[in-house]
Amino acid sequence: MKIEPRRRKVRILATLGPASSSYEQIRALYLAGADAFRLNMSHGGHEGHTEVVGHIRALERETARPMTILADLQGPKIRIGRFDAPVELKNGQRFTLDRFDTPGSAVRAFLPHPEIFGASEPGHRLLIDDGKVALRVLAVSPEEIETEVMVGGRLSSNKGLNVPDAVVPLAALTEKDRRDLDFALDAGVDWIALSFVQRPEDVAEARTLIGGRAQLLAKIEKPQALDRLTEILEIADAVMVARGDLGVEMPPEAVPMAQKRIVQAARKAGRPVVVATQMLESMITSPTPTRAEVSDVANAVYDGADAVMLSAESAAGAWPVEAVRMMDAIASAVETDPEHARRVHFTETLLEPTTADALSGAAGQIAGTISARAVCCFTTSGSTARRASRERINVPLLVLTPKLATARQLGLLWGVHAVHTRDVNDFEEMVNKAKRMALRAGVASGGDRIIIMAGVPFGTPGSTNVLHIARLTGDELKGRK
């Protein structure tokens, strides 16, 4: 099956689950517009995930297109203990969280996380069940946290608890996460997403464990991570605006500003950024989205996000293919807006004093000046492609790499069409190959000019130092299969 590059620059990350775990379903999502696939390690077992990875790699072989897989670790989810039956908390009443492992009642509940007792202080908020119940800490002892109910509601067993006002000294990776990480790396996934990041040390620990076998994405879903965003961006390969828990731990009206800040900071740092959670939430049950959801997706595209993500919409919803198709339609429509090219450059991405940055910036300027149809980038590690993508060049970015792992990892980057191909050995071979690949990919034709970026000596990572303009005759593929 011949697959031409997406005309759309922003990428779509689709979560797989019960509604989309078969080969036929995954193939349908890809054809509808999904560019990368997310495995949620909070759900399902390793056997099921192994089968899904196999389906994605089979689709990769069928389409001859590198497929991008992201494994999303569950992270240290804090939960209260069990109840024999649900209870109802009233505003203003006292409620105690303690370390006594017995069923909860209308006045107390077990909290099996001693770290919370050390981190909590009077005045802190504790949010249960995604903020449906809100408590204010009155007093703390080694065995009990006495609280006042600020927002009452129904409580039942094992509901999640958020601590928005303190850095909780929990390990970034639980034992389950470590098992899931080992599994995901052995399965050959391309990206690892780290949940509930609080500090750069969390990211550094995960990076050490990954050992270069995959790229690392830090999910920004806690206010503490926002406070140290610059440091996190220095260590992570990408970040995600994870608006689910972020919207629990912050006032809802603060989330849009946080999203803008994260996207802007990631753009400046040259890190891919994914906007996620509830983007087309109503399409879990409805074949069409709300107008507000359409505007939400469009807003992320206008901001220049590298990717937008579907969660339950594609994993467990009734309309997974339609949700991907709708997201593709929204993003494609936004990118035809003449204002889009201007708005994605609202964030000023200052070039670093490196040859790769200088050439990436120049490639964007030259492409506009001479109306080049594509930028063709030779890379081994993917670093040059990431720098070029950061500049949001308004023509296709055709990336040629001899490393299949690199081609797969580039699937989350704005505007990139990665091709796994043999490396070149000299300048003439570089030019001729770039011309042929541009024709094969359909990004240019006879008479068009393309811009070529590469490094000499060839095959040396981090050596980008060549910028060349070439004109196609249209005959470059004659005599070739």
Residues forming the active site:
38, 79, 219, 277
In our burial notation (b when 16+ CB lie closer than 10 A, e otherwise), range 297-336 reads bbebbbbbbbbbbbbbbbbbbebbbbbbbbbbebbbebbe
**Pick from 275, 416, 414, 267: which is nearest to 345 by CA?**
267
**Pick from 160, 212, 170, 220: which is nearest to 193 by CA?**
220
Contact 28, 321 (CB under 8 A): yes
Q: Which residues contact 201 (CB under 8 A, 6 or more apart)?
A: 172
184, HSE (Cβ side, Cα atoms, 13 Å): 31
DSSP β-bridge partners for residue 89:
153
Gap between the Cα atoms of 444 and 436, Å rounded? 10
Length of the chain: 481
**Pick from 404, 366, 358, 349: which is nearest to 382 by CA?**
404
> Residue 88: enclosing H or E segment and its boundaries?
strand 87-89
Q: What single-letter amino acid sits at 313?
A: E
Contact 190, 410 (CB under 8 A): no
Q: Tokens standing for 204?
A: 């550094």
> What burial class does residue 260 get, using C-beta atoms within 10 Å of its C-beta: 0-12 exposed, 13-18 middle, 19+ buried?
middle
Gap between the Cα atoms of 41 and 176, Å rounded? 9
DSSP β-bridge partners for residue 450:
374, 470
Contact 118, 169 (CB under 8 A): yes
**Dihedral, CA of residue 163, residue 167, residue 169 and residue 171, to nearest 10:** 80
Gap between the Cα atoms of 250 and 405, Å rounded? 37
Gap between the Cα atoms of 298 and 104, Å rounded? 45
| 3-class SS of residue 420 | strand
